[in-house]
């Protein structure tokens, strides 16, 4: 089987789980560990992409450009990438990150809105960096729609298009169908990004690779939004067992996970009730901490908020709907109390 390229996004997806609090020192240590382990691509930015430091998402404790600069200076072999969400970031932020030295950008949109990426994928190619299209919340659309959207990204010049299981709601069958559909119509790479809400992050990643995925994502110790991602060190261990030699050092990654990343994690990343209900309802994983905040403020159960967000078909970037839903549920309860 072909050897997939591994992108580690601990320093991007993981920032959701630690409320965007990465420091320069943590970034340096994690990048050094990944780089020494020979991980080829390391993603660094606010969890919501460049310029994501907002009330809606949460403000970065350290300016993300400082973290990106640290990553660029620390990495000896790895490419540094950033996430970019049109509307949150603008061309200006992308240019600035390229000036600092990122060599790849992953342009992320809800999986029906690929045409919004044209301006930025073209800009990335003009700036001579790698451009990856990121089709978020891919569980919401059938494979045909995803293939069509991926084709658009390819036509703008993308070097790869990812199926992104933002809600951790896909099962292996759904992953195989989607990855295969993209492989059938694209001449560029296809990638897969997992979340672990159903305990399938590694299984789905394996399913993607078996279906021909050229690139996959992981986070060290699963440090990502919500239920976390496929742990980078576990992906490498699993691929080793499958006889796929990525050239990445498992022992380096295990040390990094244990000694550097585990101490950063504020509360264990497990499939608790909140994360399972989120994945089951198909809700974006980075909503988790915001949902907990709203549940506490309005004296609600996070699960009922998750379920309603799922019903309303909330997508990435709609953290404001969490308050809206919580207010409505709280009002309903008040009304019930009066009956």
Partner 1 sequence: MSKIKAAILGSGNIGTDLMYKILKKDGNIELSLVAGIDPESEGLQRAREAKVETSHEGIKDILADPDIKIVFDATSAKAHMHTAEQLSEAGKMAIDLTPAAIGPYLVPPVNLNEHIEAENVNMVSCAGQATTPLVYAVSRVVPVHYAEMIATVASRAIGPGTRQNVDEFTRTTANSLEKVGGAKTARAIPVFNPAEPPITMANTVYTVIKEKDFDVDAIKKSINDIIYDVADYVPGYRLKSEPIIDYRDTPWGRLPVVVIMNEVEGEGDFFPQYAGNLDIMTASARKVGDLYANHFLQKKGVRQ
Q: Which positions touch partner 1 (CB under 8 A)?
A: 19, 53-56, 58-59, 86-88, 90-92, 110, 112-113, 115-116, 118-119, 297, 312-318, 320-321, 323-324, 327-328, 331
Check the annotation: does 166 bind a ligand.
Answer: yes
| Least distance (Å) between residue 115 CB and partner 1 | 5
| Least distance (Å) between residue 273 CB and partner 1 | 24
Q: Which is nearer to partner 1, 273 or 297 (CB)?
A: 297
Q: Which is nearer to partner 1, 120 or 192 (CB)?
A: 120
Check the annotation: does 193 bind a ligand.
Answer: yes
> What is the CB-side half-sphere exposure of residue 260 using CA atoms within 13 A?
22
Query: How far apart are the C-alpha atoms of 91 and 11, rounded to whole Å?
Result: 22
| Least distance (Å) between residue 194 CB and partner 1 | 23
Residue 94 phi/psi, 5-degree rounding, is -65, -45
State yes or no: is 16 an active-site residue.
yes
| Least distance (Å) between residue 253 CB and partner 1 | 32
Check the annotation: does 13 bind a ligand.
Answer: yes
Q: Choose the catalytic residue: 16, 139, 252, 290.
A: 16
| Least distance (Å) between residue 26 CB and partner 1 | 18
Check the annotation: does 284 bind a ligand.
Answer: yes
Check the annotation: does 178 bind a ligand.
Answer: no
Check the annotation: does 53 bind a ligand.
Answer: no
Q: Which is nearer to partner 1, 112 or 238 (CB)?
A: 112
Both tokens assigned to 94: 């992308």
**Do 229 and 13 form a contact (C-beta atoms < 8 A)?**
yes
Q: Which is nearer to partner 1, 231 or 317 (CB)?
A: 317
Q: Which is nearer to partner 1, 121 or 194 (CB)?
A: 121
Residues annotated within the binding site are 12-13, 166, 193, 195, 284
* Residues carrying an active site annotation: 16
Binding site for Mn(2+): which residues? 13, 193, 195
Q: Which residues are part of a known binding site for substrate?
A: 12-13, 166, 193, 284
């Amino acid at each position: 089987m072909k050897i997939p390229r591994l992108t580690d996004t601990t320093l991007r997806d993981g920032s959701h789980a630690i409320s965007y609090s990465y420091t320069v020192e943590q970034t340096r240590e994690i990048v050094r560990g990944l780089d020494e382990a020979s991980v080829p691509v390391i993603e660094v930015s606010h969890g919501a992409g460049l310029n994501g430091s907002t009330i809606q998402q949460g403000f970065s404790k350290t300016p993300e450009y400082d973290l990106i600069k640290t990553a660029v200076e620390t990495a000896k072999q790895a490419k540094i990438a950033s996430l970019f969400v049109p509307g949150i970031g603008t061309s200006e932020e992308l240019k600035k990150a390229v000036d600092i030295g990122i060599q790849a950008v992953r342009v992320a949109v809800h999986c029906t809105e690929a045409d919004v990426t044209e301006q930025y994928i073209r800009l990335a190619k003009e700036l001579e960096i790698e451009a990856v299209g990121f089709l978020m919340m891919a569980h919401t659309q059938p494979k045909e729609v995803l293939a069509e959207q991926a084709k658009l990204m390819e036509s703008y010049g993308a070097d790869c298009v990812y199926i992104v299981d933002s809600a951790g709601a896909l099962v292996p069958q759904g992953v195989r169908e989607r990855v295969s559909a993209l492989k059938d119509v694209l001449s560029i790479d296809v990638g897969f990004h997992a979340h672990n809400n159903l305990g399938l992050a590694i299984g789905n990643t394996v399913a993607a690779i078996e279906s021909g995925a050229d690139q996959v994502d992981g986070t060290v110790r699963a440090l990502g939004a919500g239920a976390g991602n496929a742990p980078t060190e576990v992906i490498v261990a699993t691929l080793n067992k499958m006889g796929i030699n990525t050239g990445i050092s498992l022992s380096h990654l295990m040390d990094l996970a244990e000694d550097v990343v585990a101490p950063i994690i504020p509360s264990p990343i497990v499939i608790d009730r909140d994360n399972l209900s989120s994945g089951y309802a198909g809700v974006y994983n980075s909503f988790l901490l915001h949902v907990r905040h709203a549940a506490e403020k309005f004296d609600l159960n996070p699960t009922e908020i998750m379920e309603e967000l799922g019903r309303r078909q909330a997508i990435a970037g709609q953290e404001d709907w969490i308050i809206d839903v919580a207010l409505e549920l709280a009002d309903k309860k008040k009304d019930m109390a009066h009956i």
